[in-house]
Amino acid sequence: MELFIIYIYINSKHNNYNQIYFIQNLHFWKNEMPENKVIKYFSLIEAWAWCDICSEMVNIRVNKNEIKAGLKMSIYTKEHKHINPYPDLEDTDDFSGQEHTIYLYINDNYDITGVKSFFGDSPSMSEVGAGIVEAGGEVRIPIVVKEVSPMSVQLGMLSIDEFKLLKVCDGMNSVQECAEISQKPIDKVEEMLVKLRKKGLVKVIKRTSG
Ligand SMILES: [Zn+2]
């Protein structure tokens, strides 16, 4: 990202259009950068993840051993409770000063593949998939009904991709979000969900977006 901006800056010296593009990007970059970032150190990662509730990047350090232990050949979900130290006091809709949770989905490469922010124990059903689907549209939310151990992969009962997908079917993600977090194409995810449903491991709840 920084290199990209420097590149545009160098080019902008010769070209007005690029100059505007550069300024727009810089503006966007400085004000709010919803793109999650990770710096990987020897024993830990430092993540900046966009919290929808804070409307800020939240800084979280996670020990690599914690991730390795939680991955189990899959995705690790890091739970981080926090409050926004600088909520907008004039905005009556800003509740970010109250404690809330951000979930980071971290893959085996220590990259963040998904982020969720919510109050309480989990996002409400009406929040899942909101923003992706138009009002009145259908949101499909896969939920694990039977936990499986990594052993089922070793025994050839599940593929590694199916196992990974199950891990993100935590009831907090729509089918599309599951595809993004597990970094698989949506048609592949749909295919796997059919198989997993037949095996009685997952159910897909349908909800109309409000
Ligand atoms: Zn927050």
pLDDT per residue as tens digits for the range 83-99: 999 998 899 889 999 99
Shared-domain flag, residues 104 and 154: no
3-state secondary structure 15-59: CHHHHHHHHHHHHHHHHCCCCCEEEECCCEEEEEEEECCCCEEEE
Assess whether 64 and 101 both reside in one domain. yes
Q: How far apart are CA 139 and CA 126, in angstroms?
A: 9
End-to-end CA distance of the chain: 35
Q: Of 95, 121, 147, which marks where a domain is finished?
A: 121
* Percent of the chain whose predicted confidence (pLDDT) is above 70: 79
Asked whether residue 44 falls in the same domain as residue 62, the answer is yes
Cα of 33 vs centre of ligand 1, distance in Å, is 14
Among 84, 97, 34, 44, CA closest to 68: 44
Tell how far the Cα of 36 is from the centroid of ligand 1, in angstroms. 14
> Both 130 and 167 in a single domain?
yes
pLDDT at 36 over 70: yes
Q: How many domains does the chain have?
A: 3
Do both 156 and 129 map to the same domain?
A: yes
Q: Is 145 found in the same domain as 116?
A: no
- Centre of ligand 1 to C-alpha 93, Å, is 14
pLDDT of amino acid 110: 95
Per-residue b/e over 118-152, b at no fewer than 16 CB within 10 Å? Answer: beeeebeeebbbeeebeeeeebbbbebeeebeeee
Residues 170-183 pLDDT 10s: 999 999 999 999 99
Range of the domain at 37: 32-121
Whether 75 and 103 map to the same domain: the answer is yes
Which percentage of the chain shows pLDDT scores above 90? 59
Task: State the distance from the centre of ligand 1 to the C-alpha of 159, rounded, in angstroms.
Answer: 35
Task: State the CATH number of the domain containing residue 135.
Answer: 1.10.10.10
Same domain, 52 and 17: no
What separation in Å is there between the alpha carbon of 58 and the centre of ligand 1?
A: 7
Cα(160) to ligand 1 centroid in Å equals 32
Residue 43's pLDDT is: 96
Q: What is the mean pLDDT of residues 193-197?
A: 96
Distance 54 CA to ligand 1 centre (A): 4
52 C-alpha to center of ligand 1: Å? Answer: 7
Q: Which of 71-75, 142-146, 178-182 has the lowest mean pLDDT?
A: 71-75
pLDDT digits 0-9 by tens, 116-142: 999 988 887 777 776 666 667 889 999
Tell me the Ramachandran region of residue 83: left when phi exceeds 0, alpha when psi lies from -120 to 50, beta otherwise: beta
| 99 Cα to the center of ligand 1, angstroms | 8
Picking from 59, 89, 121, the residue at the C-terminal end of a domain is 121
State in Å: Cα 123 to ligand 1 middle: 13
Read off the pLDDT band of 5 (50, 70, 90).
low
**Closest to 180 (Cα-Cα) out of 170, 192, 168:** 168
Token digits of residue 13: 């010296």
Average of per-residue pLDDT across 107-123: 91
Model pTM?
A: 0.76
Last residue of one domain, picked from the residues 62, 89, 121: 121
**What pLDDT score does 9 carry?**
54
3 Cα to the center of ligand 1, angstroms: 28
Give the position of tokens 């970032």. Answer: 37
50 CA distance to ligand 1 middle (Å): 8
